[in-house]
Amino acid sequence: MNGKAQNISIADAAGFLKTNDNFYILTHLSPDGDAMGSGFGLCFALRAMGKKANVLCSDPFPKRYSFLYGDYVPMKFTPQTIVTVDLADTTLFGRELQVYGDYVDIAIDHHISNTKYAARLLLDGNATAACELIYQVLKEGNMPIDKQVAACLYTGIATDSGCFKFENTTPKAHMIAAELMGYGIPFAKINRQLFDIKSKARFMVEQYVINNLETYLDDKCAMIAVTAETVKETGLAQEEFEGLASIPMQIEGVEVGVTIKEKEPNKFKVSMRSAESVNVSDICAKLGGGGHMRAAGCTVEGDLSQVKLKLLSVIAPAMGFDLWLS
Ligand SMILES: [Mn+2]
């Protein structure tokens, strides 16, 4: 049932939320700060209006965002209105939410790739975060924004903009964040929680991958690898090994960063990042993958040393090195 959505405005979305009740607010698998912030920000605002609202996700709410939803308790009611936030397509609903796929009344999203699965779609591909849209909807509708709602919405903008460092950070994102700061939110504490501290397990994972990092091609290509064996040896949860791709990029002079993770025996998922000029999407396409110019991925089969060789044989020429294999 994709492609059926009617595009609506901020004012339409506000009107719709105000005239409906008994909301299930759905967000995507592996919820990030924007998913959590937009889901709970909207939920708390609707509850403050005396409406019934719950946040649903097929994955558990991550503990690191518990400062947003600490005192949240699901309410008991029969849902009448299904809203999605930050949710680009129905494959991201996950097992538990799949059942709502064809019944979404309104989607609020900032992914240009949104598959228009909902009856109504508020989409702004220029918005840094879905939270930016939720804020505008609440404001437009004169709906209640308290300190907790403001903290939720600020969190989504901060996370999706990489603490206002990524290219997608807009003047508008800064202006909305500034308005949210006006609600007295503990922004320094929030940013420390989001960007500075990590679990001890995560710290150990990073220590491991840094110890085992390798560089190639005059130190312009850095590679980290995580095998199933490694995960087993460390005794750390699989999820602690997610999102490592930025680590090789932290080294000065590195132009291509490669993160290799064993998904099945002899099957490796590869994430590639580029600092500036190298098009990693083209490199990954040669191995059957794809993505964006500066962030792409592919799957490569073989044992770890074979995988590294296969990768270097396509990375080297793309970076202007002679094909040193053959
Ligand atoms: Mn988002």
What's the gap in Å between 31 CA and the centre of ligand 1? 9
Length of the chain equals 326
**Following DSSP, what letter does each residue of 66-78 receive, concatenated?**
HHHHTT--PPP--
Q: Does 200-318 carry CATH code 3.30.930.10?
A: no
Positions of CATH 3.90.1640.10 in the chain = 6-196
What's the gap in Å between 287 CA and the centre of ligand 1? 29
What's the gap in Å between 260 CA and the centre of ligand 1? 25
Query: Could you tell me what percent of the chain has a pLDDT over 70?
Result: 98
What's the gap in Å between 300 CA and the centre of ligand 1? 29
Looking from the CA of 218 toward its CB, the CA atoms found within 13 Å total 7
Q: Considering the entire predicted model, what is its pTM? A: 0.82
Of 293, 292, 221, 278, nearest to 251 by C-alpha is 221
From CA 224, how far away is CA 311, in angstroms rounded? 12
pLDDT in tens, 146-164: 999 999 999 999 999 999 9
What's the gap in Å between 32 CA and the centre of ligand 1? 8
**The token pair that represents 287 in the structure block:** 């191995």
What's the gap in Å between 17 CA and the centre of ligand 1? 20
pLDDT confidence of 322, banded at 50, 70, 90?
Answer: confident
Q: CATH classification of 6-196, choosing from 3.40.50.300, 3.90.100.10, 3.40.50.620, 3.90.1640.10?
A: 3.90.1640.10
What's the gap in Å between 131 CA and the centre of ligand 1? 8
From CA 42, how far away is CA 96, in angstroms rounded? 21
**Distance, CA of 68 to chain centre:** 17
Task: Give the three-class secondary structure for 87.
Answer: coil
pLDDT of 325 reads 52
pLDDT confidence of 323, banded at 50, 70, 90?
Answer: low
What's the gap in Å between 130 CA and the centre of ligand 1? 5
What's the gap in Å between 21 CA and the centre of ligand 1? 25
Q: Are strands 214-216 and 256-264 parallel, antiparallel or unpaired?
A: unpaired
Positions of CATH 3.10.310.30 in the chain = 200-318
Q: Is 326's pLDDT higher than 50?
A: no
pLDDT of 3 reads 66
What's the gap in Å between 161 CA and the centre of ligand 1? 9
pLDDT in tens, 191-208: 999 999 988 888 999 999
What's the gap in Å between 68 CA and the centre of ligand 1? 16
What's the gap in Å between 34 CA and the centre of ligand 1? 5
Instruction: Determine if residue 219 is left, alpha or beta; phi over 0 gives left, psi from -120 to 50 gives alpha, anything else beta.
Output: left
